[in-house]
Chains A and B, each alone.
Chain A
Amino acid sequence: MKKFISILLLVGVISLTLVGCSGGNSAESKTISFADAGWDSIRFHNAIAGTIAEELWGYSWSEVSGSTPVTHQGLLSGEIDVHMEIWSANIASYDEDLENGRFQLLSSNFDDNNQGVYVPRYVIEGDAERGIEASAPDLQYLWDLKEYSDVFQDDEDPSMGRMYGAIPGWEADQLLNAQFTYHGLDENFIYFRPGSDAALATAITSAYEKGEPIAAYYWEPTWLLGMYDMVLLETKPYDPESFRTGETGFPPVDVTVGASNDFAGNEENAELIAFLSKYETSSALTSEGLAYMQDTGADYVDTAKWFLTQHSELLDQWLEAEDAQAIKDFLNN
């Protein structure tokens, strides 16, 4: 009898599960998995592309999280369908993979971004409201830091200054380290590797909240630089001949949109791929979206909808006329 009841229960559970599943998947669904490499702007672009794909062609979309190298591997292996922000310079094998056709390059999302060493504005100008005096008033160029090693004191070796470098393994880390030694900052500064994006952001956040001076690598567009008033230390403008030696500044990074071979090769996705191939924004536009999200506390999808109503000209640029109109009608409702 006991056995009978447990079998009955089992059958009941299975049939309930089946009912539930079939309810969810009544329509034939096309899915996109976007890469979520861990920062805000990529999730924002995922939400824009995902919302449009969902509305026009009935895709359901999800995100796969991972670090920069992990999401890139995912794209190569086809577990990630679309990567909205491939920071090409931060992936060692990018050019090689592109050349060997291991993924499809669709478009260049933006390439007008800034990166480099930032200091909070109050370090240079002071902040009367918070009662912070300017501790490094003449700081303008990266090499000016040398004069202020006592301001940016290192925790472990108080005789040196500390400059927070880029995430270990990123191309930016090597280039910044080259600039660091080229300008002789290694004499009285320590190039401190923060280990991860989370650690770097925490270092900046906690220094800023305490009103302490900090000199740290960061990049735009990010919520962090949207939220805190930070100044980028200038370097000599980028020059392709000499940037590797560290004499001149960072090259602009081409942030591209890519799709996996399987996904791009599938005929069913042709319309979506055509749309993504025209996808182009800018660093300023992305920052605008992120700032809105930070101010209002809206989620990514709502921010994406708000963004598309503000910049409907982008829809005309990305989509066929009737599709663009369909999205506009959807947004206006």
Chain B
Amino acid sequence: MDWLYNFPLKIAIDLESIDNAVKGFSVKYDGFFSIIKKGLSSFVSSINDVLNFIPWFVLIIFVVIVTWRISGKVRNGLLYGLMLLLIGAVGLWTLMIETLSIIIASVIIALLLGFPIGILASASDRFDRIIRPILDTMQTMPVFVYLIPAMMLFGLGKPPAVIATTVYAIVPMIRLTNHGIRQIDKEVVEASLAFGSTKMQSLIKVQIPQALPTIMTGVNQTLMMAMSMVVTTSMIGASGLGMEVLIAVNRVEMGRGLISGIAVVIIAIILDRITQGLIQSSEVGSDGE
């Protein structure tokens, strides 16, 4: 009965040569990758400097006003401001700034790359078919599989954290940009072309504004995905709230873990509400046209 359960085919893959190839690659192109590393590192630290430059109460007041305007209720604005105040009160403010700077850097890169890729995918069925499995891989491949080579190339700390977060978070941006443009009525696009606009004009002035609510949902999802990588990236040495959670979990200190975990949730909620507001205002805008 053995043939029923034993696999008949065995392919011997030389895993060691893959290891050596990656190691050799990282040695050979060290110069190139350290430029990227320096670039990412200074990108994150300049965002960090900007956030650090803003006094804490200004940031809180900003959140209160923005969330108040979005929800239209003073009570909601005050609630979110209070939650942010809480993070500062338990002494996690600087860690929060550090985490935020990694998130913001990754999201900016994800938007800059994801938006044009999404537009390309909406314009070409072939390109769409090619990237679809790639996007699936990016979201399902266990992070450590590509993090180990990423760490060999970019070292530990914030640069590989930004890369890992971007890889994971860029997917909804591409998908929803693509989807948003594709779902526009054919007639609308045809009408714009019939009135003599070029393809580019039709894209910028008609299609993108029409697709904006969906694209904004993509921005929102990208942010949330990036937030969910906070603890994972601390495992490759990214400091911030995630590291705090990691230390607490490794020491089975439930209280410390809960406090820093709640801080992560609070940031996620505030970022979610603010970007939800963007979705709403873009819906109003597109309805008005």
Contacts and interface: CB of A to CB of B under 8 A. Distances in A.
Contacts of B236: 194-196, 199
B158 A168 contact: no
A161 B44 CA distance: 19
Contact of B250 (A16, A168, A194, A206): A168
A193 B237 contact: yes
B4 interface: yes
A67 B250 contact: yes
A192 B155 contact: no
A140 interface: no
Given A23-B1, A198-B144, A68 B155 contact: no
B156 A199 contact: yes
Contacts of A194: 156, 236-237
B240 to A, nearest CB: 11
A192 B1 CA distance: 56
A15 interface: no
A210 B22 CA distance: 12
Interface residues of B, number: 36
Given A20-B4, A195-B243, A209 B156 contact: no
Given A195-B243, A209-B27, A169 B251 contact: yes
B155 A206 contact: yes
Given A19-B1, A69-B250, A169-B250, A193 B239 contact: yes
Contact of B45 (A156, A164, A210): A156
Contact of A192 (B41, B151, B156, B235): B156
The winner among B148, B243, B253 for most chain A CB atoms within 10 A is B148
Contacts of A198: 144, 148, 235
A14 to B, nearest CB: 14
A170 B151 CA distance: 22
A216 B5 CA distance: 47
Contacts of A193: 237, 239, 243, 247
A326 interface: no
Interface string A82-118: 0000000000110000000000000000000000000
Nearest to B19: A205
Nearest to A192: B237
A241 interface: no
B5 A20 contact: yes
Given A156-B45, A202-B151, A203-B151, A68 B250 contact: yes
Given A68-B250, A155-B37, A16 B4 contact: yes
A193 B246 CA distance: 11
Interface in B205-257: 234-239, 243, 246-253
A203 B243 CA distance: 18
Given A20-B1, A192-B156, A199 B30 contact: no
A167 interface: yes
Given A155-B41, A168-B250, A195-B236, A202 B156 contact: yes
B152 interface: yes
Interface in B140-183: 144, 147-148, 151-152, 155-159
Given A170-B250, A205-B152, A199 B235 contact: yes
A82 B237 CA distance: 32
Contact of A206 (B5, B26, B41): B26
Contacts of A195: 156, 234-238, 243, 246
B23 interface: yes
A11 B158 CA distance: 56
B152 A206 contact: yes
Given A16-B4, A20-B4, A195-B238, A203 B155 contact: yes
A209 B249 CA distance: 32
Contacts of B38: 155
A202 B152 contact: yes
Nearest to A23: B1
Contacts of A205: 23, 152
A156 B156 CA distance: 10
Contacts of A169: 246-251
A68 B251 CA distance: 10
Contacts of B41: 155-156
Given A20-B4, A156-B45, A210-B27, A92 B251 contact: yes
B97 to A, nearest CB: 14
A105 B199 CA distance: 75
Contacts of B1: 19-20, 23
Contact of A209 (B26, B158, B235): B26
Interface of A: 16, 19-20, 23, 67-69, 73, 92-93, 155-156, 164, 167-170, 173, 192-196, 198-199, 202-203, 205-206, 209-210
Query: Across chains A and B, which 9 residue pairs bring their CB atoms closest together, nearest first?
Result: A169-B250, A195-B235, A168-B247, A196-B235, A206-B152, A202-B151, A169-B251, A195-B237, A199-B236
Given A92-B253, A93-B252, A169-B251, 6 more contacts: A69-B249, A195-B243, A202-B151, A205-B23, A209-B26, A209-B27
